[in-house]
């Protein structure tokens, strides 16, 4: 399969997952190659989104934090958060390697901004679509 998107691996995932995806022919950008290790999500989300990169993370709180939701909504971010619990790096690699084709197709079929979840069986499901993100923003601004 030819992958159509560039994937941004946030600092929470580290390099192993990105390297495994690169081995499949996926174009990957790593957090620490563009931003300081401790740069806040609200700082890098708009930049990454403006470049059209797809965010891969294991930070489920990214979809619960008001400022991060605002950053995603305004920058038309496309974010995939691993629903991981306590799993090791090898398990995370397997989830992303198994699921990358689903993720790539999901991006093509859904308008930004959105946050989707990736589950242990590599299932990809919408968490917050464009309407939900904009609604959350609207409610928070009132």
pLDDT, residue 142, reads 40
Residue 99 lies in a domain: yes
Q: How is residue 61 written in tokens?
A: 């709180």
Residue 103 lies in a domain: yes
Task: Average the pLDDT over 47-64 and give the result.
Answer: 92
Q: Which long-range contacts (CB under 8 A, 24 or more apart) does 14-23 make?
A: 14/89, 16/89, 16/92, 16/93, 17/56, 17/89, 17/92, 17/93, 17/96, 20/93, 20/96, 20/97, 21/96, 21/97, 21/100
pLDDT, residue 121, reads 93
With 50 as the cut, is the pLDDT of residue 4 above it?
yes
pLDDT, residue 100, reads 95
- Between 141 and 53, where is the model more confident? 53
Domain CATH code at residue 127: 3.40.50
Counting the structural domains of the chain, the total is 1
pLDDT, residue 85, reads 67
Residue 1 lies in a domain: no
């Amino acid at each position: 399969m030819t992958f159509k998107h560039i994937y941004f691996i946030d600092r929470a995932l580290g390099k192993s997952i990105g390297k495994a995806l690169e081995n499949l022919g996926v174009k990957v950008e790593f957090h620490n190659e563009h931003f300081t290790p401790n740069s806040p999500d609200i700082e890098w989300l708009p930049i990454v989104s403006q470049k059209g990169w797809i965010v891969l993370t294991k930070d489920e709180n990214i979809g619960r934090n008001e400022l991060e939701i605002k950053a995603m909504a305004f920058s038309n971010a496309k974010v995939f958060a691993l629903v991981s619990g306590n799993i090791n790096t090898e398990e995370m690699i397997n989830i992303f390697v198994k699921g990358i084709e689903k993720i790539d197709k999901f991006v093509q079929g859904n308008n930004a901004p959105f946050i989707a979840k990736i589950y242990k069986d590599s299932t990809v499901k919408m968490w917050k679509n464009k309407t939900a993100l904009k609604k959350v923003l609207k409610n928070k601004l009132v």
